[in-house]
Amino acid sequence: MASKHEYHWTFGNTCHISFPGGGDPVTQSPHAFSSGEGCAAYSDSNGNLLFYTNGKNLYGTANNTPINPSTQPLGGTSSSAHAAIIVPPAGGGSLYHILTTGDWDGAGSNIGPLTHTAVAVGGGVSIAAGPTKLTTFGPQRAAEKLAAVPHTNCNQYWVISLNVAAGPAAGGSGVGTLYAMLIDSDAGPTAANTVSQPYPYPVATAGYCIKFSPDGSLLAITSQPTRVDILNFNRSTGAFTPHSQIINIASNNRPYGVEFSPNGLYLYFSGIVGGYVNRHTIGASGSPPTPFSSTAQVGLWPTAGPNGYKVGALQLAPNGKIYGAKVSQNSLLEIANPDSPTATSIGVGFNQVATQAGGGALNLNATCVLGLPTFTRIAADCADNCRNLAAMIDEQLAGTPKINALRPCDDSQPVEQPRCLPIDLPRIAPWTSVRWGDSQCDCIEGDDTEVMSLTVCNPYRNLTLSNLTIHQIVVVQANGAPVANLPDGTPSVQLVPMGPYCFDDLAPCTCVTRQFVLRLRGAVPGPHRILLRGICFDACFHGDEEDCFIFNVCKD
């Protein structure tokens, strides 16, 4: 589920839509800029727009006039696929961080390092530091590619950028270098918190898009006009490893936008000239390259705009749908059911015009170009604010201890420090089940792929199960031993994804279902076990109590 910071989208020729309550979109008053490609916006914890940018100017919401002077551009350009990305406050800091990148059009005069700007919010939006070009570390020939995701500790953020190897100004040559820059506190990125490594596939070029999967474990990149690369990403160390590729894409079908399905099982990509939207089923890490002809076309927009461009960026929305930019049109493509296990049901749900809240077509009152907003992908395990609240309470409680204590009126509480004892409550636990198949005849075979449904229910009528998360799903043999490995070293039975699975809040007597894929290759016949590990939740109920304390007034 998307964070509320994605509730407002500003893009294209003054297009502005919002997703009230995380539902279907509605059109808002036009914003101030026109952008051919890159742009970014950020909304607060209640879903209200804070500020937005086209990579060059920063805008608040009061009068849609630039906050930064014309002499201080943020460093991005509207012809950069990801002109800007906005990272929320990190590591106990209070400032927002904007990273921007130039474009590789024409003679390449905009090629250079990333630019960093710190933004303060409070009594209005203002620039606290920068814009500062990162000339001493990080990519010095930054591609038009920016993505961000939280560290596993959820208090810091990785910003991902590609340095294009030296070569022709229109594209460069060589494998290039990937940078993972850790933002910690108000200082922004630093050389000490930046890691780099060679791009793990041959030749990565400058243009087009990049996107993290919902859990932040995969990164998809349109790295070549004929290829889409998928990388594994370690959110703890910032390291990349090869995962898989989509290859043999014809030059007139070159991919532009990429986006993952909410369940992380499928990758959607668009053709800037071909006008297609295709879906790729993500295999296990190390899978052989998938030809373009083996991916499923789920939509086609035939009308070309300037330069013959048809379809641009794809973006997962707070309502769980994926939207795509149609060049020179006042409407968006919509993939209404991106998690569907069959491409045909996606085809039914793929509308040429997006559906607005309340039904009917969404008219943007302006035209799209290629871009949609770039957002920091907030992984599901970092979507709650519990750790921030705990830190705030700890800070408030810190200080000089008080000496005197009041005695309770009924002597029910000890005056000295209480002991730490477990409370004697009945066991509280959700109800879980795993199902698959269309009938009793659907058997799980040794070479098989099954879409499994994991259902979690709150069986209590006077209790809410909050922030329910299953951190990992593992399959083992009946005796608890790991499943056998194939000769290539991969397990014969795999679950995709392994987790985490976020179920948010389960109201009394309600159920929520998530899906995962069970893949078997040469699995040993016999019973196996699926283990649900780390089922974490809060049990929330309301109580009303009173208490009383005695104090004496002393003689003067």
Q: For the chain, which residues make up each domain, given as ranges?
A: 4-382, 431-540
Backbone CA torsion sign across 253, 256, 259, 265: positive
Whole-number Å distance between alpha carbons of 496 and 517: 5
Tokens read off for 463? 């209790």
Whole-number Å distance between alpha carbons of 490 and 532: 21
Task: Give me the mean pLDDT over the 455-478 stretch.
Answer: 88
Whole-number Å distance between alpha carbons of 78 and 484: 51
Closest by CA to 406, choosing from 554, 555, 551, is 551
Identify whether the C-beta of residue 256 lies closer than 8 Å to the C-beta of residue 372: no
Task: Count, in order, helices (H) and strands (E) of the chain.
Answer: 2, 36
Q: How buried is 161 (Cβ within 10 angstroms: 0-12 exposed, 13-18 middle, 19+ buried)?
A: buried
State residue 348's pLDDT score. Answer: 73
Whole-number Å distance between alpha carbons of 268 and 275: 13
Whole-number Å distance between alpha carbons of 501 and 520: 21
Q: Is the pLDDT confidence value at 43 over 70?
A: yes
Minimum mean pLDDT among 4-13, 62-71, 176-185, 286-295: which range?
62-71
**Which numeric CATH code is attached to 431-540?**
2.60.40.10
Residue listed under structure tokens 């919401």:
61
Q: Is the pLDDT confidence value at 272 over 50?
A: yes
What letter represents residue 368's amino acid? C
Identify whether the C-beta of residue 42 lies closer than 8 Å to the C-beta of residue 86: yes
pLDDT more than 70, % of the chain: 88
pLDDT more than 90, % of the chain: 50
- Kindly report the backbone phi and psi dihedral angles of residue 426, in degrees, each rounded to the nearest multiple of 5, phi listed first: -60, 150
Within 10 angstroms of residue 376's Cβ, the number of other Cβ atoms is 24
The 3-state DSSP class for residue 514 equals strand
Whole-number Å distance between alpha carbons of 407 and 142: 66
Q: Is the pLDDT confidence value at 167 over 60?
A: no
Task: Give me the mean pLDDT over the 72-95 stretch.
Answer: 92
Highest mean pLDDT among 223-227, 252-256, 394-398: 252-256
Q: Is the pLDDT confidence value at 224 over 70?
A: yes
Highest mean pLDDT among 66-70, 140-144, 230-234, 391-395: 230-234
Q: Is the pLDDT confidence value at 331 over 50?
A: yes
Domains 4-382 and 431-540 share a fold: no
Whole-number Å distance between alpha carbons of 142 and 100: 10
Tokens read off for 170? 């229109």
Residue 474 confidence class, pLDDT cut points 50, 70, 90:
confident
State residue 84's pLDDT score. Answer: 97
Q: Is the pLDDT confidence value at 325 over 90?
A: yes
Residue 398 confidence class, pLDDT cut points 50, 70, 90:
low
Identify whether the C-beta of residue 140 lies closer than 8 Å to the C-beta of residue 204: no
Residue 105 confidence class, pLDDT cut points 50, 70, 90:
confident
Whole-number Å distance between alpha carbons of 401 and 417: 12
Whole-number Å distance between alpha carbons of 85 and 5: 12
* R_g (Cα) of the chain, nearest Å: 26
Whole-number Å distance between alpha carbons of 356 and 27: 8
State residue 2's pLDDT score. Answer: 54
For the chain, give the mean pLDDT: 86
Q: Is the pLDDT confidence value at 387 over 60?
A: no
Closest by CA to 196, choosing from 122, 131, 276, 134, is 134
**Which numeric CATH code is attached to 4-382?**
2.130.10
Those residues with Cβ within 8 angstroms of residue 72's Cβ, 6 or more apart along the chain or in another chain:
127, 131
Q: Is the pLDDT confidence value at 414 over 70?
A: no
Whole-number Å distance between alpha carbons of 524 and 528: 9
In the chain, the largest separation of any two C-alpha atoms, in whole Å, equals 94
CA 221 to chain centre: 15
State residue 389's pLDDT score. Answer: 41
Whole-number Å distance between alpha carbons of 462 and 541: 7
Whole-number Å distance between alpha carbons of 204 and 197: 13
Q: Is the pLDDT confidence value at 401 over 70?
A: no
Task: Give me the mean pLDDT over the 280-284 stretch.
Answer: 94
State residue 108's pLDDT score. Answer: 63
Instruction: Identify the helix (H) or strand (E) that includes residue 451.
Output: strand 448-457
What letter represents residue 534's amino acid? G
Whole-number Å distance between alpha carbons of 169 and 176: 14
Minimum mean pLDDT among 101-105, 146-150, 347-351, 476-480: which range?
347-351
Identify whether the C-beta of residue 4 lies closer than 8 Å to the C-beta of residue 22: yes
Whole-number Å distance between alpha carbons of 305 and 271: 13
Task: Give me the mean pLDDT over the 442-464 stretch.
Answer: 88
How are beta strands 240-247 and 290-291 bridged, if at all? parallel
What Cα–Cα distance (Å) separates residue 89 from each residue in 61, 150, 365, 383?
Answer: 20, 11, 33, 14
Residue listed under structure tokens 């198949």:
437
Identify whether the C-beta of residue 373 lies closer than 8 Å to the C-beta of residue 315: yes
Task: Give me the mean pLDDT over the 433-458 stretch.
Answer: 85
How are beta strands 528-540 and 464-477 bridged, if at all? antiparallel
Name beta bridge partners: 453. 435, 515
Q: Is the pLDDT confidence value at 243 over 70?
A: yes
Q: Is the pLDDT confidence value at 435 over 90?
A: no
Q: Is the pLDDT confidence value at 448 over 60?
A: yes
Give the CA-trace dihedral at 192, 195, 196, 199, to 10 degrees.
-160
Tokens read off for 137? 């570390």
